Every structure is written in C-alpha cells, then in structure tokens.
Amino acid sequence: MDGFKIREIEPWREGTEIWRGLRATFLPEIASHSTEQDFYFGEDMLIRRHDYHVEIAGSFPAAQYISDPVNVDGIWIPTRRRAYLRDDDLTPMFDTLMVSIDLSDFRFG
C-alpha cells in the first residue's frame, strides 16, 4: 500500500533466540494501535512480538507476544497473544499483563 514506510531495525534477543526487527510507519487514515510499530520475526519468519504505543489509551508502550501458530490450509496463524506493559529499554513487564487472547477453530470459507 502506498504511503507506508518500512525499515529494518535492531534485532531483539529473547532468551537464546534473536528475532529480526522491522519498523512500520502507518498512514494516519489507518486505524491501528499507533502510527509507528515494531515487529519481530523468528528464524522461520513467523511473527513473535509486536511493539507499539496504545495511542487511544494514554500512549503507554506495549509488547505483544504472539505464539503457538497452527497451519490452516497452508497459512500459519498464531493462536496465542499476550500484551504486556513495556519499559523504556523495550523490556516487557511480565507482571503487568494488559491483554490475553486465545484463538481456535479457524476455518476459511
């Protein structure tokens, strides 16, 4: 889509893994968490983490962990999302869970 800005950023180390980082700047007319968002991908190029500021609720920083993918008709879909408050150094505050989402029973029509 025209108008998006995408660039690679510093990777994130999570335990023994290193996730590649990508920063996306969204168009103002796109309803989203925030204008600027960071995405981190594992070696398999599946998304592992999504960082953003919750602009509609005080602009607090969040780190959303995305896991447990399942293959549905050849498309990998994560089934678990956990969003935590994030510190200034990008470290998630695992004792401050903001959102918990579990998905199942995927079907394409």
pLDDT tens-place string over residues 75-107: 999 999 999 999 999 999 999 999 999 999 998
Whether 30 is covered by a domain: the verdict is yes
Q: Which amino acid is present at 64?
A: Q
Total count of residues recorded for the chain = 109
Whether 109 is covered by a domain: the verdict is no
What CATH number did the domain enclosing 75 receive? 2.50.20.10
pLDDT of residue 100: 97
Q: At residue 36, what are phi and psi to the nearest 5 degrees?
A: -110, 130
Q: What is the pTM of this model?
A: 0.90
Whether 108 is covered by a domain: the verdict is no
Whether 107 is covered by a domain: the verdict is no
Total domains in the chain come to: 1
pLDDT of residue 1: 61
Rounded-to-integer distance, Cα 46 and Cα 71, Å? 12
pLDDT of residue 68: 97
pLDDT tens-place string over residues 4-62: 899 999 999 999 999 999 999 988 888 887 889 999 999 999 999 999 998 677 778 99
Provide the domain limits for residue 49. 5-102
Distant-in-sequence, close-in-space partners of 7: CB < 8 Å, separation ≥ 6: 22, 23
Strand partners, 82: 65, 100
The beta strand positions in 36-74, using DSSP E, are 36-41, 47-54, 60-72
pLDDT of residue 55: 67
Q: How far is CA 101 from the centre of its chain?
A: 13
DSSP conformational letter for 10: E
Whether 98 is covered by a domain: the verdict is yes
